[in-house]
Structure 1
Amino acid sequence: MPFLMGVLATVDKNNHAQSRAVAIREITSESLLIFTQKGSSKVGQIKNNPYVSMTILLPDHKRQITFDGIAKPISKKENIEYWNTYPLSAQIRFLAYGPTSGQPIKSNKHLDELVSKYKKEYKDKSPEYPESYIGYRVYPTDIKFYQMNSDRMSDSYILKNKENEWNLIRVVP
């Protein structure tokens, strides 16, 4: 699946909401899969409070889907398997920025130099899985659908998961 962008919302230790765009690497009937850096603020926030919200906007279809649920880290084995599916260029970019993601930087020059270094180092081989790379699955408990309509009332539904049974509720938009 080509990746899809979503907005992942978490809360920090002061209960302040924080959101950021993330690449969704896989959507299954049970979860959504994202990857990030172990040192990122989102990882610390998920460890502190695993309840997250992820919204996917589909502007061409005038739709929005929000997944509220629990984020859980995937196994090291799964992380390695996914790492090995990435193109070399993506692996090299991650090696350059992953270990220091979110830290202050004066310019991209240092990162560009790291990318050049890693391109030479890994010209004939793939880099090993870095410990700073981690995946999370978001397991939804609620899924909210919103369909904007210009010639009639918009549609809004919530799918609620209670004891592994999904119930569809139509709500006022």
Structure 2
Amino acid sequence: MSNLDDIRREYTLGGLHRSELPDDPMVLFEKWMTEVRDSNVLTDPTAMSVATVDASGQPFQRIVLLKRFDQNGFVFFTNLESRKAEQIASNNKVSLLFPWHALERQVAITGIAKPLSNTEVLKYFITRPKESQIAAWVSKQSSKISARQALETKFAEMKAKFSKGEVPLPKFWGGYVVEPASIEFWQGGEYRLHDRFLYTKLDSQQASKWEIARLAP
């Protein structure tokens, strides 16, 4: 077994203070997202881990890309026949994690995943590159396949089929908005004395009402 005990570093880029926090966590999230994008230190600053739970209670995570966020929540798109979609259908409580380690930051979110309307999905789908639109038709996400060649053959077939005109939206492709119940901001600190602040929504009918608590590192 490999020993990883000696892999460590200090977190020295800055702290997070209660006096700096806005009442609305989405304001701080937008600020942090802007800073991580402007820093150009991460290849995929919108990448987030989405954790779901299956019928037996087994959690599972995967990386997806955040495509939009606003006061309603955090939006991502996926195949509606995928493992994540099946698990959301049976338990729509999910968790998101943004691992912005280059800035010594993390944002952890819990909430409810709700399906987007067909209009919202189509509005995004038509902005994708044509090859990505075609790829949405090709993969039966999470299912077992015999070889990569099966995907490439199917892609070639669909590319020929949709060579002229627009690529239609697959019925099995959609998206979700995760309405947050809590948002935790983590800023690395020296000697492992990290700064953690947890926003918890007090009233689901009042999006601006949040309780703020500092957590021990």
Classify the TM-score, shorter chain. Answer: over 0.9
Query: Does the CA contact (< 8 Å) of 2:105 and 2:185 recur in 1?
Result: yes
For these two proteins, the number of residue pairs brought into alignment is: 171
Letter in 2 for 1:167: E
| TM-score of the pair, normalised by structure 2 | 0.74
2:208 maps to 1:168: no
Q: Distance in 1 between matches of 2:45 and 2:195?
A: 26
Q: Distance in 1 between matches of 2:65 and 2:98?
A: 10
Letter in 1 for 2:215: V
Higher-strand-fraction structure: 1
Letter in 1 for 2:184: K
1:26 to 68, 77, 80: 68
1:149 to 171, 184, 189: 189
Query: How do 1:7-156 residues align onto structure 2 when only pairs under 5 Å count?
Result: 7-97=49-139, 100-150=140-190, 153-156=193-196
What is the Cα deviation at residue 152 of structure 1? Answer: 6.8
What does residue 13 of structure 2 align with? Answer: none
Letter in 1 for 2:87: Q
What is the Cα deviation at residue 132 of structure 1? Answer: 0.8
| TM-score of the pair, normalised by structure 1 | 0.92
Q: Which runs of 4+ in 1 moved over 6 A?
A: none
Listed one character per residue, the Cα deviations across residues 11-60 of structure 1 (whole Å, up to 9, x for unaligned) are 11011111111111112133110111111111121111111100011111
Query: Does the CA contact (< 8 Å) of 1:3 and 1:24 recur in 2?
Result: no
Q: Distance in 2 between matches of 1:36 and 1:5?
A: 14
For structure 1, the 5+ residue unaligned runs are: none
Query: Does the CA contact (< 8 Å) of 1:3 and 1:25 recur in 2?
Result: no
Query: Does the CA contact (< 8 Å) of 2:199 and 2:213 recur in 1?
Result: yes
Q: Distance in 1 between matches of 2:168 and 2:49?
A: 29
Q: Distance in 1 between matches of 2:45 and 2:159?
A: 24
Larger Rg: 2
Query: Does the CA contact (< 8 Å) of 2:51 and 2:60 recur in 1?
Result: yes
